[in-house]
Amino acid sequence: MLGKLIWFQLLFAITLASASHYQCLPYPIDSVCILEHISYHSGDLVTFPTGYKQYHIRHPRSRKEYYSNVTIFDETLYESMHRPLRIEMERVFLTELTLPAELMMGNFAANQVRSVNVSRKMNYQITYLDLAQNSLTNIDFVSSLVNLEILHLEYNRIGIIPGSTLSPLTKLKYLYLIRNSFAVISWNSLPASLIHLDYSFCIAETIEFTNVSLPSLEYLNIQFNSFSTINVTALLRAAPSLKLVYLYNSNINQSRMHEIKAELAANNVTFVENYEREYCYYQEDYKYEDGKCIQVYNVPISIRKAVLLTSVVIVVAVLLMYLTWLVFRHMNR
Ligand SMILES: *[C@@H]1O[C@H](CO)[C@@H](O)[C@H](O)[C@H]1NC(C)=O
Ligand SMILES: *[C@@H]1O[C@H](CO)[C@@H](O)[C@H](O)[C@H]1NC(C)=O
Ligand SMILES: *[C@@H]1O[C@H](CO)[C@@H](O)[C@H](O)[C@H]1NC(C)=O
Ligand SMILES: *[C@@H]1O[C@H](CO)[C@@H](O)[C@H](O)[C@H]1NC(C)=O
Ligand SMILES: *[C@@H]1O[C@H](CO)[C@@H](O)[C@H](O)[C@H]1NC(C)=O
Ligand SMILES: *[C@@H]1O[C@H](CO)[C@@H](O)[C@H](O)[C@H]1NC(C)=O
C-alpha cells in the first residue's frame, strides 16, 4: 500500500515537473492572449491563464526562443486554453488539426498541416479559416464547415476539388485557392454567395459556365492557368455583378485577349492586362499603372538630350562665373 502511494506521488511529481504554464504578454485588449513561444506534443501537460477569448501564438521576436513547436492541435490543447473562440498560430510546425466545433476564427497558416479532423455530426461555428501555406492534398473536411465566410487554402497541394465539397458552404463569400494543382473546378457547385474567387496559378485547363449562377461575384482571378479559351459572354451571364477580372492565360493569344478586353470594357468590367505589362517593361517612356500602360514623357529623345546638354552647359557657366568672382574678390583685398 505504502509502496503504491510512493509510486503515485513520484508519478505526480514527474507530471508536475514536465507541465508548462504559459503566461500572456502584456496587451491592451483584455480578452486577447499573445504568446511568443509554446511547445506542445500529443500527451504533454500544458496550462494557460483563464479569461481569454482569443489566443495569438506569434513568431518569437526575441532570441530567447527561436520558434514554437505545436505538432498537433487537439481537444486536450483546446481545453487547456479554456476553449477560446479565436486562435491564431502561424509557423508552429503543426501537422494535425482537430477543429473544435465552437471555434469562430482559426488562423493556422504557414504550417505543415496534412489533415484536418472534423466530425460530420458536429455543428461547426467557424466563419474564418486560414490554412494557407500548408500541405493539404484532401479538403473533404471543408464540407462540414457550413458557416464559413472566408476560406484561405492557397499554397497547398490540393489536386482535386470534388463538387460536393464546396456546395454545402452556402455562406462562403471569399475563396482563395491560389497555387494549388487541380485541373478542374466545377463552377456548378460553387456557392452562390461568392463575392471573391481566386484560383490563379493553378493548372486548370477548362472552364464551363453552363447552368452557373454566381449573382454576387465581383472579383475573379483565374490568371496563369492553362485555359486556351474563355467565353466572356457566358461568364458575364453567369456572374452579372463582376467588377474586376484577371484572365491572363498564356495559351490565349493576344488578339483573342484584345477581343475579351473589348467585351469586358463594354460591360464596365475592369480587366487587368498582362500583355501590356510586359510591353511596358521594354518601353522606357511608359509606365504601368492601374492595369494600364501609360506614356509618361511626350518629349522626343533628341529634344530631351538637347535639354539635358543645355542644362549642363548653364551649370558649368554659372560655376565658372562664381569662381571668377571669388578669385576677383580675393585679388581686391
Ligand atoms: C517539433 O517537435 C517534434 C516532436 O518532438 C520533432 O519531431 C520536430 O523535429 C520538432 N520540429 C522542429 C522544427 O524542431
Ligand atoms: C477527431 O475529432 C473527434 C471530434 O472532435 C475526436 O473525438 C477524435 O479524437 C479526433 N481524432 C483524432 C485522430 O484526433
Ligand atoms: C443545365 O440545366 C438543365 C435544366 O435544369 C439541365 O437539363 C441540363 O442538363 C444542365 N446542363 C448541365 C451541363 O449541367
Ligand atoms: C459563348 O456563350 C454564349 C452564351 O452561353 C453562347 O451563345 C455562345 O455560342 C458561346 N460562344 C462560343 C464561341 O462558344
Ligand atoms: C488566336 O486564337 C483564336 C481563338 O483561339 C484563333 O481563332 C486565332 O486564329 C488566333 N490568332 C492568332 C494570330 O494566332
Ligand atoms: C457602363 O457604365 C456607363 C456609365 O456609367 C453606363 O452608361 C452604361 O450603361 C454601363 N453599361 C453597362 C453594360 O452596364
What span, in angstroms and rounded, lies between the C-alpha atoms of 86 and 98?
14
**DSSP code of 187?**
G
**How many Å is the maximal CA-CA distance in the chain?**
115
78 vs 96, 101, 128, CA distance in Å? 13, 11, 17
Task: Return the pLDDT at 303.
Answer: 65
Question: What phi and psi values does residue 49 have, to the nearest 5 degrees?
Answer: -65, 160
What span, in angstroms and rounded, lies between the C-alpha atoms of 190 and 150?
14
- With a 6 Å cutoff on the Cβ, whether 44 touches ligand 2 is no
Give residue 117 CA to ligand 2 midpoint distance, Å. 6
Give residue 268 CA to ligand 6 midpoint distance, Å. 6
Task: Give the nearest ligand 6 atom to 266 CA.
Answer: 13
- With a 6 Å cutoff on the Cβ, whether 71 touches ligand 2 is no
Give residue 61 CA to ligand 3 midpoint distance, Å. 56
What span, in angstroms and rounded, lies between the C-alpha atoms of 44 and 21?
11
Angle at 116 between CA 164 and CA 207, to 5 degrees: 35
Three cell numbers at 110?
504557414
Task: Return the pLDDT at 251.
Answer: 87
Task: Give the nearest ligand 3 atom to 208 CA.
Answer: 13
Nearest CA to ligand 5 atom 10: 253
Give residue 237 CA to ligand 5 midpoint distance, Å. 24
Strands in 115-117's sheet, in edge-to-edge order, are 72-73, 96-98, 115-117
Nearest CA to ligand 6 atom 4: 268
Asked whether the beta carbons of 36 and 61 are under 8 A apart, the reply is yes
| Other CB atoms within 10 Å distance of the CB of residue 227 | 18
Asked whether the beta carbons of 33 and 24 are under 8 A apart, the reply is yes
Task: Return the pLDDT at 135.
Answer: 97
Residues 6+ apart with CB under 8 A from 249: 222, 223, 224, 225, 226, 227, 228, 230
231 vs 122, 163, 227, 268, 321, CA distance in Å? 41, 21, 11, 17, 70
Residues lining ligand 6, Cβ inside 6 A: 267-268
- With a 6 Å cutoff on the Cβ, whether 256 touches ligand 5 is yes
Three cell numbers at 3?
509502496
Give residue 21 CA to ligand 1 midpoint distance, Å. 20
In terms of DSSP bridges, do strands 128-130 and 105-107 run parallel, antiparallel, or are they unpaired? parallel
Nearest CA to ligand 3 atom 1: 211
| Other CB atoms within 10 Å distance of the CB of residue 197 | 22
Mutate to test the pocket of ligand 4, among 209, 212, 232, 233 (most ligand atoms within 8 A of CB): 233
What span, in angstroms and rounded, lies between the C-alpha atoms of 124 and 100?
8
| Other CB atoms within 10 Å distance of the CB of residue 321 | 10
- pLDDT by residue, tens only, the chain of 333 residues: 455 555 555 454 444 446 889 999 988 899 999 999 999 999 999 999 999 999 999 988 877 788 999 999 999 999 999 999 999 999 999 999 999 999 999 999 999 999 999 999 999 999 999 999 999 999 999 999 999 999 999 999 999 999 899 999 999 999 999 999 999 999 999 999 999 999 999 999 999 999 999 999 999 999 989 999 899 999 999 999 999 999 988 888 878 888 999 999 999 999 876 656 666 676 677 777 765 667 776 655 666 677 778 788 888 888 888 888 888 788 777
Task: Return the pLDDT at 263.
Answer: 94
Task: Return the pLDDT at 299.
Answer: 58
Best CA proximity match to 281, nearest among 293, 297, 298: 293
Asked whether the beta carbons of 89 and 96 are under 8 A apart, the reply is no
H-only helix segments in the chain: 2-18, 75-80, 163-166, 232-238, 254-266, 274-282, 301-332
Q: Cα Rg for the chain, rounded, in angstroms?
A: 30
Flag whether the pTM goes above 0.75. yes
Q: What share of the chain is helix, strand, coil (3-state, %, to 5)?
A: 30, 20, 55
Best CA proximity match to 273, nearest among 261, 286, 256, 259: 261
| Other CB atoms within 10 Å distance of the CB of residue 16 | 9
Give residue 184 CA to ligand 4 midpoint distance, Å. 20
H-only helix segments in 19-162: 75-80
Residues lining ligand 1, Cβ inside 6 A: 41, 69, 71, 93
